Amino acid sequence: MTRTLILLFHPDIETSTVNAALQAAARTVPGTLVVDIQARYPDGIIDGLGDGEAEARVLLDADRIVLQFPVRWYSTPALLKAWQDAVLTRMYYVHAQTEGDQLVGTPLMVAATAGNTAAAYGRGGANHFTMDELLAPLKATALRCGLPWHPPHLVFRAGRLEPAELAAASDSYVRALQDFIAATPARVRQAA
Ligand SMILES: Cc1cc2nc3c(=O)[nH]c(=O)nc-3n(C[C@H](O)[C@H](O)[C@H](O)COP(=O)(O)O)c2cc1C
């Protein structure tokens, strides 16, 4: 069974409709592990030492990684940036040989939900920038870290979805995860 690690960055999953439904759907896909990062760090503080070591271990156990989050102010929730600052800094700048280099080659997919419409994120739309453009810093980070970028799974009009649309979004996420798994074979690991 291959390991698909889904890191969920929702500031308050108890009040979530869409990410709550998506993460429940993701758990039905064999080989997935969903980790609620906000639940692990309720105060939003992640240190690069003990926390960083634990998070690095979880990443290094994965065959592929999904970053799931709601769009906040045309960007990621603050906790995802805190996670990058603590965990990726540690792995790629402090323990590059034993951690960062070992993560190289692990594919990465973003699963984001946005309140506005797809058209608003179109060229010339109300938001002025496409979602691909807004996700560029994450893509640059993935490239810097040697994590092959898989096309993102996006849900628009989050918060305004009818029950049938929410069910369709969940089904589409399951298919996206299955496609991601099929496109990215399990990593071959060196014996310790
Ligand atoms: C503080 C805040 C900022 C937000 N910023 C954006 C934004 O920049 N673009 C957008 O499309 N939606 C934005 N939204 C809407 C959220 O993305 C949307 O409510 C969320 O994806 C719904 O998912 P959930 O049901 O899991 O919370 C924002 C919501 C909040 C509360």
Q: Whose CA is nearest to atom 28 of ligand 1?
A: 72
What is the position in ligand 1's atom list of the atom closest to the CA of 11?
Answer: 27
pTM higher than 0.75 for the full model?
yes
Residue 191 lies in a domain: no
Query: Virtual CA dihedral for 108, 60, 72, 120, nearest 10 degrees?
Result: 0
- Residue 22 reports pLDDT greater than 90: yes
C-alpha 147 to ligand 1 mean position (Å): 26
C-alpha 190 to ligand 1 mean position (Å): 41
Residue 173 lies in a domain: yes
Residue 25 lies in a domain: yes
- Residue 97 reports pLDDT greater than 80: yes
Please, what sign has the CA dihedral across residues 41, 38, 109, 65? positive
Structure tokens at 191: 């014996």
- The whole domain housing 60 covers 4-183
What is the position in ligand 1's atom list of the atom closest to the CA of 71?
Answer: 17
Residue 146 lies in a domain: yes
User: Domain holding 85: CATH number?
Assistant: 3.40.50.360
CB neighbour list of residue 158: distance below 8 Å, 6 or more residues apart: 17, 18, 70, 113, 114, 115
Residue 188 lies in a domain: no
- pLDDT tens digits, residue range 133-184? 999 999 999 999 999 999 999 999 999 999 999 999 999 999 999 999 999 9
Q: Which helix (H) or strand (E) holds 108?
A: strand 108-113
Residue 132 lies in a domain: yes
Residue 190 lies in a domain: no
What is the position in ligand 1's atom list of the atom closest to the CA of 121?
Answer: 11
Residue 192 lies in a domain: no
Domains in the chain, number? 1
The mean pLDDT of 51-68, rounded to a whole number, is 97
User: Which residues does ligand 1 sit against, CB inside 6 Å?
Assistant: 10, 16-19, 70-74, 113-116, 158-159
- Residue 73 reports pLDDT greater than 70: yes
